[in-house]
Chains A and B, each alone.
Chain A
Amino acid sequence: MQGNISQMLPVITEATGNCGSFVLKLLFLTSFFSGVIQMGEDAGLMQKISSFLQPLLKRIFETNNPKILKKISINISANLLGIGNAATPSGLAAMEVLDEENNQSPHPSDDMCRFVLFNTCSIQLIPTTIMGLRAMAGSKNPAVIVLPVIMVSFFSLMTGLLICNLLLRLNKKRKPLC
């Protein structure tokens, strides 16, 4: 329609070529930061943060089950530190226990909604990969985004939780929406 169908193959070869350099960039950057984070994890940093978080999380979640709160707090501290490969297993484990508490109903419990919201909001404190990409793109100050990112993450999570709680409460008064 735009008359540039003949350019399809050149566009594909250009994109595949770019892919090589991009993957290489990301490959070593990510392995480096994963290595650093693993050092912190092995030093017990995650357990520290997690035990600090538990009393706070007790106020956000309805459940009183210490097993669930522990799993949730491990997941959240892994997210804060940016340990993707520790966050997902602990998150899934927490979801499984929440599912038991929900009597395996087909409708999500309130705590499930809140917990998933914590995970769909990125709460990573220091966005290492993005800072690395910025540095490689020639940024004069790759770290300048740290503070705005923390503030945006915090306020968006709080607003999200607030809206979530509000809707859940409204939902209980009427017949269930979904």
Chain B
Amino acid sequence: MLKLISEWAFPLFLGFIIISSVIKKKDAVSSFCTGAKQGFSAICSVTPNILAIMVASAIFRKSGAMDFFLHYLTPVFRFFYIPKGIAELILLRPVSGSGAMVLLSQIYEAFGADSYEGLLASVICASTETTLYTVMIYFGVTRVKNTKFPLLIGLLTDFIVILLAVAFVNLLLAAS
């Protein structure tokens, strides 16, 4: 049942969009092209960010700095049942969206997309946002100077996501 919902969600979503586009008599192809062009330029504009993160994280890892930090962080992560392999992702996720995508695909390569690490990383990435960036730009258009409270709540909620993700991945996906 759970599997059925998950599997059908995307095909239904896709079908629903196409059908509603046809019913409303919209030009589906030109809509698609407009959106695709926007998506294309969005990725092009974050390519330098992706490059910077990829090089920085490779150096961070290969130089041994990662191991140095992990040595101290692993007991904390173990306390919350978070596997060591996704520690770096959790630290980077609130700060950089493209960086998190890079680490996510590296986790898939290292452990496999259907491994426990892969599933957990997928759920965490999909359920959190680039909290720091979001708070910054949303309050950037206001006169509000004091953003400590919203930032704190945002990061706390990100942490709740991690705990819930561990619980739900174990509950729903560990058996399959």
Q: Which residues of A contact B (CB under 8 A)?
A: 1-2, 4, 7-8, 11-12, 14-16, 18-19, 22-23, 25-27, 30-45, 84-85, 88, 91-92, 95-96, 98-99, 102, 104-108, 112-113, 115-117, 119-122, 124-131, 133-134, 137-149, 151-153, 155-157, 159-160, 163-164, 167, 171, 177-178
Contacts and interface: CB of A to CB of B under 8 A. Distances in A.
A164 B160 CA distance: 13
Given A146-B10, A151-B168, A112 B150 contact: yes
A7 B165 CA distance: 37
A34 B141 contact: no
Interface in B76-129: 101-102, 104-105, 108-109, 112-114, 118-119, 122-123, 125-129
Contacts of B44: 27
Contact of A2 (B57, B64, B129, B139): B64
B17 interface: yes
B71 interface: no
Contact of A120 (B7, B154, B168): B154
A27 B42 CA distance: 9
A106 B142 CA distance: 9
B127 A152 contact: yes
Interface residues of B, number: 90
Given A42-B34, A148-B165, 14 more contacts: A27-B44, A35-B35, A36-B32, A44-B20, A45-B17, A92-B137, A92-B138, A96-B142, A115-B138, A124-B126, A131-B10, A133-B113, A134-B108, A152-B168
A35 B135 contact: no
B103 to A, nearest CB: 11
B108 A137 contact: yes
A174 B44 CA distance: 49
Nearest to A124: B126
A160 B43 contact: no
Given A8-B59, A121-B129, A178-B148, A38 B38 contact: yes
A120 to B, nearest CB: 4
A88 B140 CA distance: 12
A133 to B, nearest CB: 6
B142 A99 contact: yes
B43 A149 contact: no
A102 B160 CA distance: 29
28 contacts: A1-B64, A11-B58, A11-B59, A27-B40, A27-B43, A31-B37, A34-B39, A35-B32, A39-B17, A41-B35, A43-B24, A43-B31, A98-B142, A102-B144, A105-B144, A113-B149, A113-B150, A116-B150, A117-B154, A119-B138, A120-B134, A122-B129, A130-B122, A131-B10, A137-B118, A151-B164, A160-B153, A178-B149
Given A31-B40, A85-B38, A149-B126, A43 B143 contact: no
Contacts of A145: 6, 119, 122-123, 126, 173
A159 B17 CA distance: 31
A127 B128 CA distance: 11
Given A27-B44, A96-B141, A146 B157 contact: no
